[in-house]
Amino acid sequence: MRKLIVLGATGSIGVNALEVAAHLGADAIDVVGLSGHRNVARLRDQAAACRPRFVAVTDPAAHATIADEWDPAHGELLLGADGVRRMLAEAAPDVVLQAMVGAAGLPASLQTVEAGAVLAVANKESIVVAGPLLVERARATGARILPVDSEHSAIFQALGDQPADAVRRILLTGSGGPFRTRPVDTMATITKAEALDHPVWSMGAKITIDSSTMMNKALEIVEARWLFDVPADRIEVVIHPQGVVHSMVEFVDGNVLAQLGPPDMKIPIQYALTHPARVPGPCVGFDFARYASLTFEPPSFERFPALRLGFDAAERGGTFGAALNAANEVAVAAFLDERIPYPAIHDAVARAVDAHAFLASPSLDDLMRVDRDVRDAVARHLDG
Ligand code: NDP
Ligand code: MG
C-alpha cells in the first residue's frame, strides 16, 4: 500500500493519474491528498470519489468559491501554496505525483525530495528551473525522482542500472507536433486553434503549445540532462511522427535500447507509481497493425529554433533553464490569450534568455529571483 498525493489533480495528467490509482485499487494506492488550481468543480468530484485526507486549492479566488459549502468528509480543505506545504508535511506520502504546470510546482517538488518521498514528476518545469538542486537534495535524503514524462520514462527504463559513462547518446524522440511539415514562410499566421491541435497527444494547453514550437522538446533536453546526468552533447532529438518509440538509449558498445508503447500517459504514470514492480495496466495492448511503419528524421532547427535554446540551457546550466522556462511561460500565456502572434513566442524567449544576468552556480533564491525578473521583463516587453 502506497500513500499518494496528486498535485495538479484536475489537469490532464492528474485525471489520468487518478484513473491509474483507481485501476490499481485501494489496496495498492491510498490517495491521501489532492491539489487543484481553478477547476474546483472537478476537484470536488475527485475528492468525493477518493476521500483524501487533504484537498488543497492553490488559487485563492477559486478557493473562496467553494470554502463555505465544502463537505469535510471529502477531506480537509486547504488554501494556496501554504496549504500544499501542510498537506505534504502532514499526510506523509510515500509518492507525490507532481502534475502541476509551470515553475509554480518547484516548491512542492523540492519539499517532496527534502522529505525523502518518491517524486513521480510530470512537472518538467521544476527540473528545468532547478534540476541540479533537486537531484542533489534527493541524493542527500535518499529520495527517488521517477520520471512520468513519456520520453524520460523510456530513457529510465532503457538505462536500467547502467552508469552514465556507459551511455553514448540519448535519442530523445518527438512527434514534431502539428507544424512538422507546414511551410516555414506561413508560420507567422499560425492561430491558437491550429497550435492547440496536436496530432498524437491530448494534453493541457501550455504543453500543447510547447509541443507545437518544440519548446517542449527543449525543456525535455534539459530534463534529461539533469535526471540522467548526461551532458548536452550526448543528447540528440529525433523526429518520430507516429509517437510510438518514446525514446532510445545508445550505449558505448553500440547497442541501442528503445522503449515502445501506444501514446497513452497512463502507462508511464503507472510505472512511476508501481516502480520497480510491473503490474497489469489499464491500457490496451500494442497494435502493430495500426503502426505498420515507424519513421525517423532529424529535426529542423530553422523550423524549431526553440531546440537550440534547449541545448544551450542543458549545456550552460546555472540560471539558463530558469530564465528559459519563465520567459516561455509568460510568452505562451500571452499567445493563449491571443495577445501576441505565434512567432513572438520565440522572439520574446530568445531575447529574455539573452538579456538575463546569467549566474553559473545559483542558489534557490537566485533561481527564484531570475524566475521573477524574467517574467517581469517579458511581460513589459510584450505589453510595451
Ligand atoms: P493541465 O493544464 O491539464 O493541468 C495543470 C494542472 O496544474 C491542473 O491541475 C491545474 O489546476 C494546475 N495548476 C495550474 N496553474 C497552477 C499553479 N499556478 N499552481 C498550482 N497548480 C496549478 O496540464 P497537464 O496535465 O497537461 O500537464 C501538467 C504537467 O505535466 C506539465 O508540467 C506538463 O509539462 C507535464 N506533462 C504533461 C503531459 C501530458 O500528456 N499532459 C506529458 C508529459 C508531461 P486547474 O486545472 O484546477 O486550474
Ligand atoms: Mg514528453
Q: What gap in Å lies between CA 198 and CA 195, rounded to an integer?
A: 7
In a domain, 367, yes or no: no
Residues 169 and 93 occupy one common structural domain? no
pLDDT digit string (tens) for 174-196? Answer: 999 999 999 999 999 999 999 99
- What is the 106 CA–ligand 1 centroid distance (Å)? 13
pLDDT digit string (tens) for 264-286? Answer: 999 999 999 999 999 999 888 88
Number of domains comprising the chain:
2
In terms of Cα–Cα distance, which of 201, 355, 350, 320 is closest to 268? 201
Per-residue pLDDT at 144: 98
Q: Tell whether pTM > 0.85.
A: yes
**Whole-Å CA distances, 172 to 46, 144, 154, 157:** 34, 22, 9, 13
The answer, yes or no, to whether residue 384 has pLDDT greater than 80, is no
Residues 140 and 211 occupy one common structural domain? no
In a domain, 63, yes or no: yes
pLDDT (mean) for 215-221? 98
pLDDT digit string (tens) for 80-131? Answer: 999 999 999 999 999 999 999 999 999 999 999 999 999 999 999 999 999 9
Asked if residues 45 and 16 have their Cβ atoms less than 8 Å apart, the reply is: no
In a domain, 285, yes or no: yes
Which amino acid, one-letter code, is at 153? Answer: S
How does residue 341 score in pLDDT terms, banded at 50, 70 and 90? very high
Q: What gap in Å lies between CA 222 and CA 132, rounded to an integer?
A: 11
For residue 60, which ligand has an atom nearest its CA? 1
Which residue is closest in CA terms to ligand 1's atom 41? 203
Per-residue pLDDT at 201: 86
Which residue is closest in CA terms to ligand 1's atom 39? 203
Task: Please name the residue that has the C-alpha cell 529510465.
Answer: 156
Task: Please name the residue that has the C-alpha cell 513589459.
Answer: 380
- What is the 303 CA–ligand 2 centroid distance (Å)? 19
Residues 216 and 71 occupy one common structural domain? no
In a domain, 16, yes or no: yes
Mean pLDDT, the chain, as a whole number?
97
Structural domain range at position 38: 2-147
Sorted by sequence, the CB contacts under 8 Å of residue 241 that are 6+ apart come out as: 175, 176, 180, 199, 200, 295
Residues 70 and 17 occupy one common structural domain? yes
In a domain, 164, yes or no: yes
